[in-house]
Amino acid sequence: MCDMRSTEIEETQLVTAEMKVHVLRTGTLEGDLSWFLLRKGDTFIDRYHKDDPRIWSHYPTHAVLIEHPEGRILWDTGLPRNWEEQWAPAGFNDYFPVTEDVNATTGWLDSGLASLELAPEDIDVLVLSHLHYDHVGNARMFDNGKTRIIANNNEIAGVKTIEGTVDGAHLVSEFLGLPLEGTPGDVDLVEGVHLINTPGHTWGTMSLQLDLPNDGTKIFTSDAIYLKDSYGPPIVGSPIVWDNRMWLESVHKLRGIADRTGAELIFGHDKDQIELIKTGPDEFYS
Residues 66-125 binding Zn ion (CB under 5 A) are: none
Closest residue by beta carbon to Zn ion: 132
Q: What is the DSSP letter of 139?
A: G
CB-wise, 62 or 72, nearer to Zn ion? 62
Minimum distance from CB of 203 to Zn ion (Å)? 11
Q: Which of 132, 140, 170, 218 binds Zn ion (CB under 5 A)?
A: 132
Give the interface segment with Zn ion, choosing from 2-10, 31-39, 218-226, 244-252 (CB under 5 A).
Answer: 218-226
Q: For residues 124 and 71, is the Cβ–Cβ distance under 8 A? A: yes
Count how many Cα atoms sit within 13 Å of the Cα of residue 235 in the half-sphere of its side chain: 15
Instruction: Report CA dihedral (245, 226, 78, 96) to the nearest 10 degrees.
Output: 100
Minimum distance from CB of 31 to Zn ion (Å)? 13
- Site for Zn ion contains 174 (CB under 5 A): no
Minimum distance from CB of 229 to Zn ion (Å)? 17
The pattern of x and - marking residues 219 through 248 that bind Zn ion according to CB under 5 A reads ----x-------------------------
- Site for Zn ion contains 140 (CB under 5 A): no
DSSP string, 165-213: SEETTEEGGGTTT--EEEE-SSEEEETTEEEEE-TTSSTT-EEEEEEET
CB-wise, 22 or 132, nearer to Zn ion? 132
- Site for Zn ion contains 269 (CB under 5 A): no
Minimum distance from CB of 240 to Zn ion (Å)? 7
Instruction: Please report the beta strands in the chain, taking only residues with DSSP state E, as ranges in sequence order.
Output: 20-32, 56-68, 71-75, 125-127, 148-152, 166-167, 170-171, 180-183, 187-190, 193-197, 206-212, 216-222, 264-267
DSSP string, 111-134: HHHHHTT--GGG-SEEE-S---HH
Minimum distance from CB of 222 to Zn ion (Å)? 7
Minimum distance from CB of 49 to Zn ion (Å)? 29
CB-wise, 116 or 240, nearer to Zn ion? 240
Q: For residues 268 and 222, is the Cβ–Cβ distance under 8 A? A: yes
CB-wise, 133 or 142, nearer to Zn ion? 133
Q: How many chain residues touch Zn ion (CB under 5 A)? A: 2
Count how many Cα atoms sit within 13 Å of the Cα of residue 164 in the half-sphere of its side chain: 7
Give the interface segment with Zn ion, choosing from 44-52, 129-137, 175-183, 225-233 (CB under 5 A).
Answer: 129-137
CB-wise, 174 or 223, nearer to Zn ion? 223
Cα separation, 21 vs 82, in Å, equals: 27
Binding site for Zn ion (CB under 5 A): 132, 223
